[in-house]
Structure 1
Amino acid sequence: MRLVRIMALRQRLADKLVMPERLKDTLVEKWIKCWSGLVRDYTEVAVGAVRESYAHPKWALAYGTGLALLYQTVVNNPGEEYFMTQLRRNTNLMITVAPDQQNPVSAEYLLMLERAINQKKLRLLSLGICTLLWVDLFDEDDCTYPAICEYTKVGFLNFHERVIDVGFWKKYWRLNWKMRNYDVNYL
């Protein structure tokens, strides 16, 4: 019933809107035909999706929930600014503890991150739903032959060895895990 109403409305609009003679067989007419065909196709897809959702409500609920979850993971994907904020916060927490009472694992991880940042080797790769934090072999401003050569770059097969943290849902998980017991009571 709704599809019939939409088609009737579309036909009435098409009858009222007529292309002037001076614009026929021009780029403007082709552009209008292209966009009207695109709108027609997408309305048919939307109407078909609504019909399918009435026919299979459980599948529609599952797809809707999945799309909402995917949207939320994209929105809550942490970036470089969030990583630096979390790193500074954790470094400040570590500074408040005396060096002999610090957890050596937490201190070494923070030191490794600071060295990578200072050497400009720390890279972030956002994949939309998560962010990979990895250490490159060379400085980003390095112009020497080994840094430029394609054979000395980190390849796809050994890229996983260079990844040091994964950011997902507003949190860098390994940094959070390493800092869970950062003081003398780490045992």
Structure 2
Amino acid sequence: MAPWRVAMRTFCAAAEKAAAPAASSRWETLKNSKAGVWCRSLISDYKEACREMVVGAWERPFKATVYVTLLGGAWACFCTKPDHSSFEAALLERSNQLGLLSPWIRNASSDGHVQSLVKLRNEGRLRHASLGLLSLVYCANYDPDATLYEARCSNLSMPWWEFPQRVLDVGFAGRWWFLDSKMQAYDVNEEEFKHLPAHMQVTSPPSVEEVERNERLHKESWLALTVEDEEKDTNVVDREEERVSVKSPIKPLKEEHTQA
């Protein structure tokens, strides 16, 4: 058994020595090939670019801060860009808000804008376009599933110069700006106040003193009355009743004595 083990060890050592030059030769061949040279040059270029970027940021921190801020803002706008489903959800929410109000209270501008958007949505004419940092919602002439000749013919499609007129809303930074601006005073019907004088149509916000006074009075109205205040009130009421009771029976007594 011992000679057999010695022979196996000798054979394994010889095989390892023979395989080592072969492996090293293959690695050298791969490094010196065209693909290896291209990969090494690409890695060296990226390494040099990263080094120059770090050195430039260290030498010009203000410029580097501006670039990083712009890139971070662009990335934030891209991540928070609303999509078509968010527009439909916002439209349905605004429609429900107006539906909870009486027609006499709704703002005509808000109601008309939301109703027109809902009508276009029901007709399937709302389209969504993503422009990277922002989104656009515009109206089309026909539903995408329509099989009419006018809807399918490319020569009769919407010309590009009419696109700005068809834009209905702009989505940026997680908001739909046109829809939000139309819904700012959706519960104020301006038609109710158009017959009032000009000085009554314009309202000014209250001053700081008036706001503080109203808040103080509101807080005081919730305070419980103390015993002293209740006693004072009862004493005042009793005194008033005594005065009335004293004054009222004197006149009839005097009249009776005079008659007698």
> What TM-score comes out, normalization by structure 1 length?
0.80
Residue 35 to residue 93, structure 1, CA distance change in 2 (3 Å) = farther
Deviates more, 1:166-175 or 1:98-107: 98-107
Asked if structure 1 preserves the Cα contact closer than 8 Å seen for 2:108 and 2:189, the reply is no
Q: Which runs of 5+ in 1 are unaligned?
A: 1-16
User: Which residue of 103, 115, 120 maps to 2:119?
Assistant: 115
Paired residue for 1:61? 65
TM-superposed CA distance for 1:36, in Å, is: 4.0
**4+ aligned runs moved over 6 Å, structure 1:** none
Identity across matched positions, percent: 27
The structure that has the greater radius of gyration is 2
Task: Report the equivalent of 1:7.
Answer: none
Alignment match, 2:51 = 47
Map 1:82-101 to 2 at 5 A: 82-101=86-105
Question: As a proportion of its length, which structure holds more helix?
Answer: 2
CA 1:94–1:18: 2 relative to 1, 3 Å:
farther
Point out which structure has higher relative CO (alpha carbons under 8 A, 6+ apart).
1
Extract unaligned runs of 5+ from structure 2: 1-22, 194-260
Distance 1:46 1:105, change over 3 A: same
Alpha-carbon RMSD across the aligned residues, in angstroms, is 2.5
SS at match of 1:133: strand
- Secondary structure in structure 1 of the residue aligned to 2:73: helix
**Residue by residue, what CA displacement relative to the aligned partner does 1:102-126 show, whole Å, maximum 9, x if unpaired?**
1111111111111111111100101
Structure 2 CA distance for partners of 1:23 and 1:96, relative to 1, 3 Å: farther
Matched with 2:182 is: 178
Shift of 1:21: 6.4
1:160 matched to 2:174? The reply is no
Could you tell me how far apart the structure 1 residues matched to 2:125 and 2:168 are? 12
Q: After superposition, give the CA deviation of every residue in 1:36-70 in whole Å (9 maximum; x if it has no partner).
A: 44333222221111111112111111101111111
Shift of 1:146: 1.4
Structural mapping, 1:123-134, within 5 Å: 123-134=127-138
- Find the aligned partners of 2:57 and 2:25 in 1 and give their Cα distance: 37
Distance in 2 separating the partners of 1:87 and 1:45: 48
Tell whether the 8 Å contact from 2:104 to 2:189 is kept in structure 1 after alignment.
Answer: no
When normalised by structure 2's length, the TM-score is: 0.59
